[in-house]
Copies of this chain bind each other. A is one copy, B any other.
Amino acid sequence: MAVRMKDIAEDLGVSLVTVSKVLRNKSDVGETTRKRVLQRVRELNYQPNMLARGLASGKSYTIGLIVPDLVHTFFAELAKGVSAGLRKESYQLILASAEEEPELEHQEIEHLLARGVDALLIASCQSSASGFKSLVNSKVPYILIDRLLPKLNAYFVGTDDIAAGRLATEHLIELGRQRIAHIGGKLISTSVGRLNGYKQALAENHIPFRQELVVIRSRLEEAGVQIGSNAMQDLLKLKQRPDAVFCYNDLTAVGAIRCLLNNKLRVPEDVAVIGCGNLRLSGYLEVPLSSIDQSPQQQGEEAANLALSVLAGKHERRAKHLLVEPKLIARDSTIGREGQTA
């Protein structure tokens, strides 16, 4: 059906191998032959069959990406960045969504390996490294994204979550807040990092850490608004209520704000709220939301670049961990009306 190298070779009376060499820019082919081949290639709009190429060469020019859930804009933007990063080197992206299920993630890893991906990028929803056994054995290079796994000495690209937690907390401290609460997530590295950043900022500013001001919940990614609201409700039950909250993500912050307003509290006058993730619409919410920007698209590109350079054998020169600096975006929910720009 499609044009093959063989067809071009026969048309021109040269060997198929010669055509192959021209297409891969090998040096040992004469200038005139090369021109003739390229000419014919263009005429027929020949595209090499990547399956055959992959089978013969052992490289598929394909990179796999597994994300927990595309609905979180973070991962969607990440995927976009990866795609853009790969395009420059004409690699292609095979995308799999694990739907936040470790077992599914494990299966997808197997499938992508069977597909012959040259490298694998994974924003894992596993909490242990056990699902990575065949990946590690396969010798296919892989890069963790966003979420770090303990026990796995892997390449990593992600947010500097400690810095994110610090940035958010320091911002609240600078605004004079003293009883700063945190609504955080469970298990995964991002939660831990942000919590640690929060603690560090408190310590450096000589504010005592109080266990009762920290509420840990799970499923903040999927049902953040609902859970954030509940968590805030719990915080309001304390004898002395917090005057600020640093939330694990923006959805959670939206929920927290909703809860505060329902309780006739003012944001930020009574309680300042900051999230993390800086969603596209965060600036247009009921109370425009202060947040920490994570540049997900940039992270995707960095991950793609790292993967490509590992494949090119340059991994010695590259650090194994690449942390993207988070940025503070201050809006009404912490600094009030005067700061509004929208």
CB of A92 within 8 Å of the partner chain: yes
13 further interface pairs, Cβ-Cβ under 8 Å (given A48-B114, A70-B70): A49-B114, A51-B51, A51-B116, A62-B115, A71-B76, A71-B77, A83-B95, A90-B111, A92-B94, A225-B284, A254-B281, A258-B342, A286-B288
Q: For A49, give its contact among B48, B92, B112, B116 (CB under 8 Å).
A: B116
Expressed in whole angstroms, the minimum distance between the Cβ of A89 and any Cβ of chain B is: 12
Whether a CB of chain B sits under 8 angstroms from the CB of A54 is: yes
- Assembly stoichiometry (copies): 2
Q: Chain A 286-310, CB within 8 Å of chain B: the 1/0 string?
A: 1010000000010000000000000
| B94 and A111 form a contact (CB under 8 A) | no
User: Is A217 on the interface with B (CB-CB < 8 A)?
Assistant: no
Does A177 sit at the interface, judged by CB under 8 A? Answer: no
Q: Are A284 and B77 touching (Cβ within 8 A)?
A: no
Instruction: List, sorted by A's number, 7 A–B pairs whose CB atoms are closer than 8 Å.
Output: A47-B110, A49-B116, A70-B70, A79-B97, A92-B94, A281-B282, A284-B286
**Of the residues B95, B99, B110, B281, contact of A79 by C-beta under 8 Å:** B95
Nearest 6 CB-CB pairings of A with B: A76-B76, A47-B114, A95-B95, A70-B80, A51-B54, A281-B281
Is A134 part of the contact surface with B, judged by Cβ < 8 Å?
yes
Judge whether A263 is part of the interface by a CB distance below 8 angstroms. no
Q: Which of B1, B51, B55, B284 contacts A139 (CB 8 A)?
A: B1
Task: Please measure, in the bound complex, the distance between the C-alpha atom of A21 and the C-alpha atom of B110, giving whole angstroms.
Answer: 21
Closest partner residue, chain B, to A1 (CB atom): B139
Total interface residues on A, CB under 8 Å, equals 54
Q: Is residue A319 contacting chain B, with contact meaning CB distance below 8 A?
A: no
A159 at the interface (CB under 8 A from B): no
| Chain A contacts with B in 48-89, Cβ cutoff 8 A | 48-52, 54-55, 60, 62, 69-71, 73, 76-77, 79-80, 83-84
* A48 contacts across to B, CB distance below 8 A: 114
Q: Is the C-beta of A201 less than 8 angstroms from some C-beta in chain B?
A: no
A283 CA to B232 CA, complexed, in Å: 19
A interface residue numbers (CB < 8 A to B): 1-2, 45, 47-52, 54-55, 60, 62, 69-71, 73, 76-77, 79-80, 83-84, 90, 92-97, 99, 110-116, 134, 138-139, 225, 254, 258, 279-282, 284-286, 288, 297, 342
A94 touching B95 in the complex, CB below 8 Å, given contacts A47-B110, A114-B49, A116-B49: yes
In the complex the two chains form, what is the Cα distance from A134 to B95 in whole Å? 24
* Contacting pair A111 B92 (CB below 8 A): yes
Task: Give Cα distance in the complex from A288 to B281, angstroms.
Answer: 12
A48, A54, A95, A258: residue with the most chain B Cβ atoms closer than 10 Å: A95
Report yes or no: A45 in contact with B134, Cβ–Cβ below 8 A.
yes
A47 to B114, CA, bound (A): 6
Complex Cα–Cα for A134 and B47 (A)? 11
The answer on a CB contact under 8 Å between B71 and A83 is no
Q: How near does chain B come to A172, taking the closest CB pair, in angstroms?
A: 22
Contact of A281 among B49, B55, B76, B279 (CB under 8 A): B279
Q: Cβ of A342: which chain B residues have Cβ within 8 Å of it?
A: 258
With a CB–CB cut-off of 8 A, which chain B residues contact A288?
A: 286
Q: A70-B83, A71-B76, A281-B254 are in contact. Are A50 and B114 (CB under 8 A)?
A: yes
